[in-house]
Amino acid sequence: MFLRKNRRIKDGKPHVYWSLVETVRTPKGPRQKVVGYLGDLNESNEELYRGMVKRLGGRNDNQLNFFKSPPVGSINVIAEKVRIEKVQDFGDAWVGVGMWKLLELNQFFTQHIKAGKEEIPWVAIISYLAVSRFCESMSKLSIAEQYADQSALADILGIEAVKINKDRLYRSMDRLLPCKQKLGEHLKKRYSELFQLDYELYLYDITSSYFEGQCPHNPQAKRGYSRDNRSDCKQVTLALVVTKEGFPLYFEVFNGNRRDVTTVEEIVEQVESVYGRADRVWAMDRGMVSDDNLKWLRERGSTYIVGTPKTMLKQFEQRLLDEEWEGVHSDVDVKTAQSPEYQEEVFIVCRSSSRREKELSMARLFIGRIEDGLEKLKRAVSRNTRALTDRDRANAS
């Protein structure tokens, strides 16, 4: 509860009056509600005002003295000569630290990381690294050289910003690695307590991260299929399992030349060894699908939803001609079809109008490029240039 000063012009003269305001929570967020209009406050009604504030539960005693003379020692400020220095982001860091505390990660790492003679506790460095990554997607080097000056995170965590350096951030990862499995179990427990997650559906996918340089000291850095179109660089393959809400449960780092399809058995067994096998549905894209993987999942009684190659649509040609489509989204229709080979399997056939337009657009672009190339070749032939006197050169162009 606080005082609000109001000004208005009446009969050409300025008038000042005060209102008593409180902050209330509404479905749309915090809102300010006027409790009462107090008029022009002065020393004569000070006691009356104090009594009213106490009855209404107000706590802001500083404003009770607003009409008294300025306290001794106050100074005048010349606004034109005030300057602002070291402006830092605060809000995102505050939210990140709040989430860190909500997940009780300080308690977890204090329990699992042995304290030594380090100047700054590893728990503080790990929390700084995690929250900074939450606020900004940047490397550890960039965090040390740029982010530490841009954000108030160090002040919030009680760390001297000048002591945040890349070596401390890198070494903190060595302390994290032994906690990997325990950390997953802790997060699962906190997710359940905070968000009532059911863990019925696991989403599994793989990505990769490449390195600039030869990485001679990283045995997992290999050349393989690059999702970043950087086949010239070594990389590692990163596997991640999340819940249907997007909460991470498990991750693994594989060699850069590891094929996606070869990781399924290892990931499924590792995750289920921690979280159990009951009532689990695995969702994977077609890059994980192979006859061996599907056979393995069937034999162990696992439930799965996997992407299949488009070539398999030929098996359901007649079913696709039926009009029994069911709308599940604004532009997505589905229908089910029984597997011709395994009776316990059901195929969900989908069609999307927006996806159809996208593929038609890509086809038109491809056709346009072919036509431009043919037109260019036609012009070259019409000029009867020497470059086209040789058939192999003509075919190459």
For 173-199, the pLDDT digits (tens) are 899 889 988 898 898 888 888 888 878
Model's pTM, two decimal places?
0.63
Please indicate, yes or no, if residue 32 is contained in any of the structural domains: yes
How many domains are contained in the chain?
Answer: 4
* Radius of gyration of the chain, Cα coordinates, nearest whole angstrom: 33
For residue 114, the tally of other CB atoms under 10 A from its CB is 8
Q: Write out the two tokens for 289.
A: 């699908």
Please indicate, yes or no, if residue 75 is contained in any of the structural domains: no
Please indicate, yes or no, if residue 278 is contained in any of the structural domains: yes
- Check whether residue 253 and residue 168 sit in a common domain: no
* Domain end position, chosen among 274, 306, 338: 306
In percent, the amount of the chain with pLDDT more than 90 equals 29
Please indicate, yes or no, if residue 118 is contained in any of the structural domains: yes
Q: What is the pLDDT of residues 207-263, one digit of tens each?
A: 999 998 889 999 999 999 998 889 899 999 999 999 888 888 888 999 999 999 999
Please indicate, yes or no, if residue 83 is contained in any of the structural domains: no
Distance CA 131, CA 329 (A): 36
Please indicate, yes or no, if residue 302 is contained in any of the structural domains: yes
Domain that holds residue 170: 91-179
E strand map for the chain: 2-10, 13-26, 29-39, 201-210, 235-243, 248-255, 281-284, 303-306, 326-329, 332-338, 346-352
Under a CB-based contact definition with an 8 Å cutoff, are residues 35 and 21 in contact? Answer: yes
- Check whether residue 146 and residue 220 sit in a common domain: no
